[in-house]
Amino acid sequence: MCTLTRSTETQGNGTQPHEMRSENDVLRILVQILRFSIIQFHAAFDCLVHLVFGLYYDFNVKKVPPVKNDIVLMSASELAEKISNRRDHRSEEDATVVRLVKDAGGILIAKTNIPEFNLWTESRNHLYGQTCNPYNTTRNVGGSSGGEGAIIAACGSAFSVASDIGGSTNRMPAFFNGVFGLKPSEGLTPLKGIALRQQDYSNSMAEIGPICKKAEDLIPLCKVFIGERKSLLKLDQVVDLKSLNIFYQESSGDLRASGVNGDMKAALLKAVRHFKEVTGSATKIKIPGSKYSYRLWRFWMTQESVDYKTSITNGKYRASAVCELWKLMRGKSDFTLAAIIKLIDEDILPKENAEWAKSVTANMKKYLMTKRFQTLFQVVAAPYNDHLCLAVARELEKAHGGWVPPA
């Protein structure tokens, strides 16, 4: 054993003698050795966890992390708006749905990117920039819960919390990233704490839903998110697929909406053929009023309780489309173009007739119920028939495959 010491003597010229090592040098070396050892141990432990969890996922039919009976939620969306005026804002309490997840044993370990104020078809803002698709970084991930779709697809999480008011869960992020998402029936999930809402249940198009890689994982998350209202659904009911009435529509016919390209239509018809074999029939329909889908969505957005023009400035003032356009042209606007487009929609474009919009919407809902309308390829069901959506999703996954990891 060699002990290094420091001499207290000085040379004749008053300088310290040459030393092989000082106590500080030894301490520094020991710290570096310890740091290197910890890093190596951490890497080895990560490999072990990855191996064990991988074997568990491969052979355990539950396909969820092995943490007793608890649900481990490994990622949660911000559930707040990425706007410059709220840069330093921190919530003082959890949103109700976050509390429900924590009460169920969930552990929230991450927040992901969303568009400014949760309203756009891609996840981009001035604070964190653009979220890119894990399958092709030149493509976007959808919105508003695009960061959630991306992190699920990239194996960064088992489940996630996502919000949906116009396609923000299953119709864009899940679709763009090749995973499963569900928007529950209207009025089921508590909304307090979501996009500045102050009430759990209100007349809103918004809902909270899960995104995950496996269709079978949607049900346990739905039970947690819905909480006390889960008795309104039949999530545990066994669905006989042969007894379902299958209807499909190839396009809404709304010229304002993106067209259905050949690949998407081929995928739809492939699913239709499969369910025709299972159920014996699949009927092509045209939902009355679907050609007005964008106009109807515009109207119902005006009925939401959140004041967009005030909220986007964090209550500092009411934003104006004209003022923000002028700032944008001079490079001085705090908001993204997407947020300003929403201001233009509210300030400049003509409003929809309320009586007309309510009548068309009511007729569409009546049509879905009287036709015993149950499923579409963007799997849709009549209110409180969410279990049918989930059964069809599991069948599609079984027949045609589901999530595929990014190459």
Summarised one tens digit per residue, pLDDT across range 33-63 is: 776 666 666 666 666 665 665 565 555 544 4
Per the document, the length of the chain is 407
Q: What is the pLDDT of residue 238?
A: 92
**67 secondary structure, DSSP code:** S
Q: What is the pLDDT of residue 192?
A: 87
How would residue 69 be classed by pLDDT, with cut points 50, 70 and 90? very low
| Token pair 């803002």: residue | 125
CB-side exposure of 316: number of CA atoms within 13 Å?
A: 9
Q: What is the pLDDT of residue 74?
A: 41
Q: In this structure, how many other beta carbons lie within 10 angstroms of the beta carbon of residue 47?
A: 10
Integer Cα distance of 270 and 260 in angstroms: 15
Q: What is the pLDDT of residue 15?
A: 45
How much of the chain exceeds pLDDT 70, in percent? 77
Across 16-30, 102-116, 359-373, least confident range: 16-30
Summarised one tens digit per residue, pLDDT across range 271-295 is: 999 999 999 999 999 998 999 999 9
Q: What is the pLDDT of residue 35?
A: 66
Tokens coding 242: 């042969």
How would residue 260 be classed by pLDDT, with cut points 50, 70 and 90? confident
How would residue 404 be classed by pLDDT, with cut points 50, 70 and 90? confident
Name residues whose C-beta falls within 8 Å of residue 311's C-beta, 6 or more positions apart in sequence.
81, 117, 195, 196
Q: Which residue has the higher pLDDT, 4 or 144?
A: 144
Cβ–Cβ < 8 Å for 237, 273: no
Least Cα distance to 302 among 209, 383, 203, 207 occurs for: 203
User: Quick one: average pLDDT of 103-119?
Assistant: 83
Helix axis angle for 96-103 and 218-226, nearest 10°, is: 120
Integer Cα distance of 209 and 76 in angstroms: 11
Integer Cα distance of 71 and 97 in angstroms: 14
Least Cα distance to 88 among 311, 337, 314 occurs for: 314
**132 secondary structure, DSSP code:** B
Q: Is the pLDDT of residue 198 over 90?
A: no
Cβ–Cβ < 8 Å for 205, 165: yes
How would residue 218 be classed by pLDDT, with cut points 50, 70 and 90? very high
pTM: 0.75
Indicate if the alpha-carbon torsion angle 336, 338, 339, 340 is positive or negative.
Answer: positive
Cβ–Cβ < 8 Å for 97, 230: no
How would residue 377 be classed by pLDDT, with cut points 50, 70 and 90? low
Tokens coding 88: 């330093």
Helix axis angle for 293-301 and 354-370, nearest 10°, is: 120
Integer Cα distance of 32 and 26 in angstroms: 10
> What is the radius of gyration, based on Cα positions, of the chain?
27
Summarised one tens digit per residue, pLDDT across range 294-339 is: 999 999 998 988 888 988 888 888 999 999 999 989 988 888 888 8
Summarised one tens digit per residue, pLDDT across range 225-248 is: 999 898 999 999 999 999 998 999
Q: What is the pLDDT of residue 83?
A: 59
Least Cα distance to 248 among 222, 229, 273 occurs for: 273
User: Quick one: average pLDDT of 112-124?
Assistant: 84
Q: What is the pLDDT of residue 241?
A: 92
Q: What is the pLDDT of residue 237?
A: 92
Integer Cα distance of 260 and 247 in angstroms: 17
